[in-house]
Structure 1
């Protein structure tokens, strides 16, 4: 089955839509699926769009990888079922950004919603090369990178994702965002933590207001958007035009719509997601993490998660889902019955 056929046949059972609309180019009030390394493959993006995400991002893609080999293009190419895609690039050399922007734009055409430049990744193996959040310390180089992307893909929207700053107590986001706007960025996504915090502590949404006051382009809120309610609060309580949801999407494609799924819908969503992995040619071992996310909070969730850890084929993952469904039905039919794994 193709991904489109999977959605057509199985999305409704999971309270998801099979009718995926193009983004439309508007940030105002939109909920976007964030780029997540090792997570946001085509199947994941399709689930998010089916759940109501206005736009979904690729995993972050190395400009050097696109230059030196073909493997990285697998992260860029959308599935035929995707109406469009945001591609996030990372690196530190303006000339490679220029080349990557041109090649991605030519390859995807109208299906390229926007090009995003990662200036937020805090992972040491990225920052030690001067990439990701390390660029927050070099606004001149960062501006050259934005201009290079604009030169390479003059018809593409170019955005930037940043953090509050690289080191604790050293906030640079407002002035840095202004420099990125001056260089040609059409929107700024702001994660409300310092890079050295990684994902610990709480995100400071106050920096979103400070960035919004500093620039005239749309600002996208990021950090601790873990629920639909949190997304709506970020839109109503800050100067953000849109929000970007990352960890809040784990096992929860309904985070974009606010739908509260039943246990049956969560199981159906897992099954749909597994089938999309297979349809898009992704490594099915990714479904092991998905099982933990979709079954989280269910009785005996750890047992089902452990069962999924030994699965290899789609059929094996679907068999685990069938067992979970049978247990749910037993409990519903006979209240007080113990779940069995």
Structure 2
């Protein structure tokens, strides 16, 4: 007990991205553009689904929650990263992050990351029912079931994120407070702890399987069934539909789950360099939330139609 109370770390120092000083301005402009694209794209989806009654369906209920999750997930890390990069550009002291704020960032990072995982499973199941059982879609995907899936996703993510945050709060940090990352990542914090982290690592491994691996496998199975169902119709149109429906979705899903599973569940991740870890983290914290609006909605005819109806309803002059 005395060992835990000897030294209390009140703040951490985030190093940001491992890039050369002459590249700071270029990466700052790029990341700012990507962040603004993520915010505007996901906000547009939420507003369109809210305003257009044609989009009040199970698929777009899940999509609106996914867009909100992406918006918040990116906002958990990006503003702080941009602040760090701005400080480095101006060659002033990099702002530190208080201990409580670091744990808070970790909590919301886990919360919205887990929420996206569950929502992707719900969306894959929705598409599976719609394509494989079109005549029973309304009966299966009832409003009560959809609401239960959304509420269950929020509740499970709340408890999972809280569990890891409480386990992290019990650890002591005695000396080094420099985090070689751009956010308060769980694995980076564990490397700085001077107390026993075996319980934390065991919970990460067990819960990671439940929160990441099982949902990923369920998504793969759902899309495999979708492809099988579509390919039963021997036509070029059916094959094109299969690839257009599943190909882009699975690419983003693989990017999201692949990088997270590789970082947190694979033993080789412990031997990864800071640069490799940062690149993988950027994939699911920055790239995936930006791509989701394009993959799931902005290429969607329903969303385009909703945008036209909303614009015309507001009697904007260029609407014919």
Shorter-chain TM-score bucket reads under 0.3
**If each structure's helix is expressed as a fraction of its own residues, which one has the higher value?**
2
Larger Rg over CA atoms: 2
**If each structure's strand is expressed as a fraction of its own residues, which one has the higher value?**
1
TM-score, normalising length from structure 1?
0.25
TM-score, normalising length from structure 2?
0.26
